Amino acid sequence: MDPISNPYSPGAGTPPPELAGRDEIRERARIAIERIRRGRPAQSLLLVGLRGVGKTVLLDKIRDEAESRGIYTLQIEAPEGRSLPALIAPQLRLALLKLSRVKRAEKFAEKGLRALAGFAKALKVKYQDIEVGLDFDPEPGLADNGDLEQDLPVLLETVGGAAKAAGTAVVLFIDELQYVHEEQLAILISALHRCAQRQLPVTLIGAGLPQLRGQMGKAKSYAERLFEFPEIGALDDESAANAIIRPARDEGADLEKDAVSEIIRQTKGYPYFIQEWGKHAWECADDSPISLADVRAASIASVSALDESFFRVRFDRLAPLEKKYLRAMADLGPGPHRSGDIAERLGRDVRSVAPVRNKLIKSGMIWSPVHGDTAFTVPLFDEFMTRIMPGDDWENRD
Chain centroid offset of residue 328 CA:
27
Q: What is the pLDDT of residue 7?
A: 95
CATH of the domain at 301: 1.10.8
- What's the average model confidence in pLDDT over 40-64? 94
Specify whether 176 is located in the same domain as 306. Answer: no
CA–CA distance, 8 with 282 (Å, rounded to integer): 8
Phi, psi of 336 (to 5 degrees): -75, 165
Specify whether 213 is located in the same domain as 149. Answer: yes
Spatial CA neighbour of 284 closest among 297, 274, 275: 297
Three-state SS at 323 = helix
Specify whether 146 is located in the same domain as 282. Answer: no
Specify whether 165 is located in the same domain as 292. Answer: no
Specify whether 216 is located in the same domain as 360. Answer: no
Answer whether residue 3 is part of any domain: no
Name the residue range of residue 265's domain.
235-314
Q: What angle separates helix 271-284 from helix 257-267, to the nearest 10 degrees?
A: 140
Domain ends where: 314, 346, 367?
A: 314
Specify whether 214 is located in the same domain as 71. Answer: yes
CATH of the domain at 390: 1.10.10.10
Specify whether 269 is located in the same domain as 323. Answer: no
Three-state SS at 266 = helix
CATH of the domain at 207: 3.40.50.300
Answer whether residue 7 is part of any domain: no
Tell me the whole-structure pTM to 2 decimals: 0.92
- What's the average model confidence in pLDDT over 217-242? 93
Specify whether 97 is located in the same domain as 168. Answer: yes
Local structure of residue 368 (DSSP, 8 states): -
Three-state SS at 304 = helix
Specify whether 295 is located in the same domain as 333. Answer: no
Domain ends where: 198, 228, 258?
A: 228
Share of residues in the chain with pLDDT > 70 (%): 99
Answer whether residue 12 is part of any domain: no
How many distinct structural domains can be found in the chain? 3
pLDDT in tens, 4-31: 999 998 877 678 888 999 999 999 999 9
Answer whether residue 4 is part of any domain: no
Three-state SS at 345 = helix
CA–CA distance, 327 with 263 (Å, rounded to integer): 26
Specify whether 304 is located in the same domain as 348. Answer: no
Share of residues in the chain with pLDDT > 90 (%): 85
Answer whether residue 15 is part of any domain: no
Q: What is the pLDDT of residue 80?
A: 82
DSSP secondary structure letters along 151-187: HHHHHHHHHHHHHHHTT--EEEEEESGGGS-HHHHHH
Answer whether residue 17 is part of any domain: no
Domain ends where: 228, 258, 292?
A: 228
Answer whether residue 216 is part of any domain: yes
pLDDT in tens, 295-330: 999 999 999 999 998 999 899 999 999 999 999 999
Specify whether 147 is located in the same domain as 173. Answer: yes
pLDDT in tens, 145-155: 999 999 999 99
Q: What is the pLDDT of residue 87?
A: 93
Spatial CA neighbour of 290 closest among 326, 255, 239, 247: 255
* Pairing outcome for strands 337-338 and 202-208: unpaired
Specify whether 199 is located in the same domain as 278. Answer: no
pLDDT in tens, 187-198: 999 999 999 999
Q: What share of the chain is helix, strand, coil (3-state, %, to 5)?
A: 55, 10, 35
